[in-house]
Amino acid sequence: MKIIGAQEVKSHYIEIEDEEGTREYRRSSADNWERCYGMSWEYEGESEKLEKLFQEYLKERKSKKIKTFEIWSEGWCATGDLSKATKHGECYGSDFGDACENFGMSNDSFKKHLDLKNLTYWGCKLFDNETDARKLFG
């Protein structure tokens, strides 16, 4: 059993892959976990195994110097409309591109319009900070 993805948000979330396939879990309280079944979450109970896996993942993540990045897209102006820079969220990764890819795993809309090769979202450049994202159109 191996964790293939994890996020530290309001509730701890992990994605596990093993011989049974891929499953999603989230920690609902100190020791209780819930498992995702399609669009709903069902109580899984206390799970020392999941907690241990999650803690091992966090330890490994720290040792690989994986860090959290802010994800911003630059502002734009087209066809008489405009928008200022947008903060999409924050996510972990070994570098900014990795963080963008990981963010897309939990955000279908972002993933749909993400171009990892060019690090753009809907054609707008992505940045890891607000200052750079606001340079062009505020």
**pLDDT for res 21:** 67
pLDDT at residue number 9: 43
All structural domains of the chain with their residue ranges: 2-63, 67-133
- Which of helix, strand or coil describes residue 56? helix
CB 14 within 8 A of CB 35: no
The reported pLDDT for the residue numbered 77 is 78
- The one-digit pLDDT tens for each residue of the chain (138 residues) are 455 555 444 346 666 666 666 677 766 665 667 777 766 666 666 677 777 777 776 676 666 667 889 999 998 878 878 789 999 998 878 789 988 988 887 788 899 999 999 999 999 999 999 999 999 777
* Cα-Cα-Cα-Cα dihedral sign, residues 111, 113, 118, 120: negative
